[in-house]
Structure 1
Amino acid sequence: MIRTSVLNMTRRALLVLGLPLTLFSVWWLATAGSTNFYVPPLSVILQKFTEVWTGERLASDVVPSLVRLTVGYLLAVVIGVGLGLVVGTSRLVRDVLEPVLELFRAIPPPVLVPVIMLFAGIGDTMKVLVIVSGCMWPILLNTVEGVRAVDEVLSDTCRSYGITGPSRLWHLTLRSASPQIVTGMRQALSIAIILMVISEMFAASNGLGFTIVQFQRTFAIPEMWSGVLLLGLLGFALSLLFRLAENRVLAWYHGLRRSQRNP
């Protein structure tokens, strides 16, 4: 039993880390001995990585970016899920808001950066609002679809037993829509990282996006590549954390699907 568990863990680790390690190996071999100013060897990039991102910049640039990312993402989750529940449960609200929501959804969030700067200034509020403006849409739309797909039999059962109001919302609507909601949250996470970087490229004084652009403008190419590498590792780490949280929150759903596949 223990041997089987160890084998399964090893197999999972190889599946998760196999492709990234392969890509890093190819990158290392392809750039080894490179004399191209714009494509330095990976060994040089890793050296700069340890010099740049393990010192003062960790607190002055990485931490502020993570704080903005977290605040913007959580606000997008609250707004997206809340508005999605309202739109999904009320046909009248959906008919009224759907044209407006489709109009705003079609506007690329980076285009809104100058507009948001006019109202929110150039501080952290602007950067958080940029993240919210792009992240809320996949959460909102997936929440609406999840709410509309609630099983009619379960809905009638709740009605028969007099389960209404907050109890119905919590135990039926949110629970039934949670797989769709989590899907929207997963999509929004990658969008949040992108918008975090974009927002920090406009009138900023710190953050990952600001620092990477500064390296590019001063032709500190290895340092610039180290910032890009840090963003990739950050995205990978956040994806892993999200998957762990998803497996815990949706354990009942994944168990149900496994039982349906293996009756």
Structure 2
Amino acid sequence: MRGVLLRGFFVVALPVLLVAGWWVASDDSTDVYWPPLRTILTAFPDVWTGDRWRDDVLPSVLRLSAGYACAAVAGVALGTVIGSYRRVRAVCEPVLEFLRAVPPPVLVPVIMLFAGIGDTMKIAVIASGCVWPILLNTVEGVRAVDSVMSETARSYGITGVARLRHVVLRSASPQIFAGLRQALSIGIILMVISEMFAASNGLGFTIVQFQRGFAIPDMWTGILLLGLLGFVLSVVFRLVERRVLGWYHGSRDVSRRSS
């Protein structure tokens, strides 16, 4: 119990200190572009009403979820194939390194030519950036599967889908979740960037509209909301990860205590 309370204190302490520092540093500010934090917090409930949550926040979250899900499925599937076969990896590796080096925001105009300016374009932009950390971590995770474990599974007749599910993916799952965690933050960034191009709603669109209309406190509320959204998604992801990888974290805790 004491350990949980101490861990909770450290989790809360830094955000509280940062907010307090922001409040004190901006309290006497007269700069139009750097309003006091109390002004931003006062404007927050007036800006983000129920209608704006439905018209801007919800579409952004849905686009992020769709793009992230597409990237997760494609990244894990392709990464498993590439990581399992040496020849496939040798052929694909130069192409993957080339495509990985292209910044996803640069692809926005190209994707707009093929997908238009609707939700399909925004989902494609998010997926194009999220797929790389998932794909590359899956490849490395599959490559790192213990050969002794694979041979043992084969000797017991565990092949095909059963081997893929219980040996390969289970062994690579910690690495896969590391890629999924990295992709989540990338997805939030690309969600905002994609909504700044030819959009009519969404968080990125709304923040740009506030900036162009010199509604600076309202713009800051959008930035603050993005930070809160990232925090909530991170907490949800951590809960899912602890649930799915309970066996992995449990074995690590046992090893730590025994050492």
Q: Deviations over 1:207-233 (max 9, x none)?
A: 000000010011000000000000001
- Give me the whole-angstrom Cα distance separating, in 2, the residues matched to 1:237 and 1:126: 25
TM-score, normalisation: structure 1: 0.96
Query: Equivalent residue for 1:36?
Result: 31
Instruction: Map 1:164-179 to 2 at 5 A.
Output: 164-179=159-174
Matched, 1:120 2:115: yes
Q: Which residue, out of 118, 142, 147, partners 1:152?
A: 147
Query: Equivalent residue for 1:234?
Result: 229
Deviation at 1:16, TM superposition (A): 1.4
Q: 1:229 aligns to what SS in structure 2?
A: helix
Letter in 1 for 2:169: L
Identity of aligned residues (%): 67
Deviation at 1:63, TM superposition (A): 0.3
Query: Equivalent residue for 1:12?
Result: 7
Deviation at 1:259, TM superposition (A): 1.4
Instruction: Map 1:31-70 to 2 at 5 A.
Output: 31-70=26-65
- Give me the whole-angstrom Cα distance separating, in 1, the residues matched to 2:57 and 2:105: 21
Q: Which residue, out of 17, 21, 24, partners 1:26?
A: 21
Q: Which residue, out of 160, 163, 172, partners 2:158?
A: 163
Q: How many residues align?
A: 258
Deviation at 1:92, TM superposition (A): 1.4
Instruction: Map 1:194-233 to 2 at 5 A.
Output: 194-233=189-228
Query: Equivalent residue for 1:190?
Result: 185
- Give me the whole-angstrom Cα distance separating, in 2, the residues matched to 1:204 and 1:107: 23
Letter in 1 for 2:196: M
Deviation at 1:55, TM superposition (A): 2.9
Matched, 1:254 2:249: yes
Between 46-55 and 171-180, report the one with greater CA deviation.
46-55
Q: Deviations over 1:96-139 (max 9, x none)?
A: 11111111111000000000000000000000000000000000
- Give me the whole-angstrom Cα distance separating, in 1, the residues matched to 2:131 and 2:51: 33
CA RMSD of aligned residues (A): 0.8
- Give me the whole-angstrom Cα distance separating, in 2, the residues matched to 1:191 and 1:17: 24
Q: 2:177 aligns to what SS in structure 1?
A: helix
- Give me the whole-angstrom Cα distance separating, in 2, the residues matched to 1:126 and 1:119: 8
Letter in 2 for 1:10: L
Matched, 1:93 2:88: yes
Deviation at 1:39, TM superposition (A): 0.5
Q: 2:196 aligns to what SS in structure 1?
A: coil
- Structure 2: give runs of 5+ residues left out of the alignment: none
Letter in 1 for 2:126: I
- Give me the whole-angstrom Cα distance separating, in 1, the residues matched to 2:245 and 2:102: 32
- Give me the whole-angstrom Cα distance separating, in 1, the residues matched to 2:116 and 2:6: 50
Q: 1:262 aligns to what SS in structure 2?
A: helix
- Give me the whole-angstrom Cα distance separating, in 1, the residues matched to 2:54 and 2:43: 17
- Structure 1: give runs of 5+ residues left out of the alignment: none
- Give me the whole-angstrom Cα distance separating, in 2, the residues matched to 1:12 and 1:258: 16
Deviation at 1:172, TM superposition (A): 0.1
- Give me the whole-angstrom Cα distance separating, in 1, the residues matched to 2:162 and 2:138: 18
